[in-house]
């Protein structure tokens, strides 16, 4: 042990640099801000993280106890000239106690703890909380903000805005196969099962952008089924929601007007909707306020003029298997269309 420590800390004078570097590296990996269950940013994630650490500490202590007993056994055997094996009763009691009684008691505590955490995940949200319905699609997220009657008042995709400090109820559904909704910094994992509505909730205690990810293998682009939760101040959230409820803004230039016509006369409107126009299909993400979103295609590419143009021309290039087909447009049509879509804030 001393030799190992000297190797790490350095001969003669103490050199803690390697230890500190290793510690920082571990900290960076384990507590990365954007997507980590070990960096809880809300009450539900904290409950889950606390339970994880409780299990980790108990498990760690058991591991140390087993190693200590093993070491003691080896040392004792070395220093004994004549081995003295345990009697049958002693061995039986030892196996029964450490192999049955203690594990059963510990696992029982874990089961009770786990059930209590699960209960918090399902029922820990007040009745009057803001309700967001999230529907998993291959491979994107439909996000509907519901009013008091349970009807959608605003629809968006792949970005969920929530007010800081307020619990948000989640109604989780699927349109096709099983997906799973998880924002590690804010809540636990909940499956989205076709024909069923699962409920969960989340709350962010601080403003920030928290990455979420589909956590149930759901086909070719499962890995590109990400989303983000944007936690903002309650007043800011009210403004955001009021904007999202509005229909799309009218084209303000001739080019934007031509872009709208391209949208309405091409295959775009077969799948997408833009509220306030005649495009009302619900197969693909609602584009009423598409320019207000940071990414396209469920976190696959950033939302910019260039990336949007590339996505429209060749979606299969950045997300092979996506249900969006390539759209044949002239350069001019494409420029007009992108100009129009990027005006939809
Ligand atoms: Cu959806 Cu994996």
Dump pLDDT digits (tens) for 9-60: 445 445 556 655 665 565 555 544 568 888 899 999 999 999 999 999 999 9
What pLDDT score does 29 carry? 52
DSSP at 99: I
In the block, residue with structure tokens 């030799």: 3
Distance 322 CA to ligand 1 centre (A): 13
Dump pLDDT digits (tens) for 178-222: 999 999 999 889 999 999 999 999 999 999 999 999 999 999 999
Q: Specify burial of residue 193 (Cβ count, 10 A radius: 0-12, 13-18, 19+).
A: middle
Low-confidence ranges of the chain (pLDDT < 70): 1-34, 83
Distance 1 CA to ligand 1 centre (A): 47
C-beta of 159 in contact with ligand 1 (< 6 A) = no
What pLDDT score does 13 carry? 47
C-beta of 135 in contact with ligand 1 (< 6 A) = no
The model's pTM is 0.81
Distance 124 CA to ligand 1 centre (A): 25
Nearest CA to ligand 1 atom 1: 179
C-beta of 216 in contact with ligand 1 (< 6 A) = yes
What pLDDT score does 127 carry? 80
Distance 221 CA to ligand 1 centre (A): 8
């Amino acid at each position: 042990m001393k030799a190992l420590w000297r190797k790490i800390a350095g001969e003669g004078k103490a050199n803690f640099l390697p230890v500190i570097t290793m510690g920082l590296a571990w900290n960076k990996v384990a507590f990365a801000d954007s997507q980590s269950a070990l960096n809880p940013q809300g009450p539900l994630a904290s409950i889950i993280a606390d339970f994880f650490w409780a299990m980790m500490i108990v498990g760690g202590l058991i591991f140390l106890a087993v190693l200590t007993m093993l070491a003691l056994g080896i040392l004792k055997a070395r220093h004994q000239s004549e081995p003295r094996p345990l009697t049958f009763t002693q061995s039986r009691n030892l196996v029964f106690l450490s192999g049955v009684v203690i594990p059963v008691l510990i696992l029982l505590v874990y089961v009770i703890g786990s059930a209590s955490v699960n209960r918090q995940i399902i029922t820990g949200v007040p009745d009057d909380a803001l309700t967001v319905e999230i529907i998993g699609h291959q491979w994107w997220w439909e996000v509907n903000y519901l009013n008091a009657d349970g009807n959608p008042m605003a629809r968006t995709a792949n970005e969920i805005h929530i007010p800081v400090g307020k619990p948000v109820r989640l109604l989780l559904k699927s349109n096709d196969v099983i997906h799973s909704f998880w924002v590690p910094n804010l809540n636990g994992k909940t499956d989205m099962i076709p024909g069923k509505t699962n409920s969960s909730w989340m709350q962010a205690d601080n403003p920030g952008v928290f990455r979420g990810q589909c956590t149930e293998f759901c086909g070719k682009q499962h890995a590109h089924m990400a989303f983000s939760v944007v936690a903002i101040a309650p007043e800011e959230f009210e403004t955001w929601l009021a904007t999202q409820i509005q229909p799309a803004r009218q084209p303000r230039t001739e080019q934007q007007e031509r872009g709208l016509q391209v949208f309405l006369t091409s295959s775009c409107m077969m799948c997408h909707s833009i509220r306030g126009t005649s495009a009302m299909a619900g197969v693909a993400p609602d584009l009423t306020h598409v320019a207000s979103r940071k990414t396209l295609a469920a976190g696959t590419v950033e939302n910019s003029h260039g990336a949007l143009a590339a996505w429209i021309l060749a979606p299969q290039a950045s997300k092979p298997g996506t249900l969006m087909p390539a759209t044949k447009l002239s350069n001019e049509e494409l420029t007009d269309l992108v100009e129009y879509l990027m005006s939809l804030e």
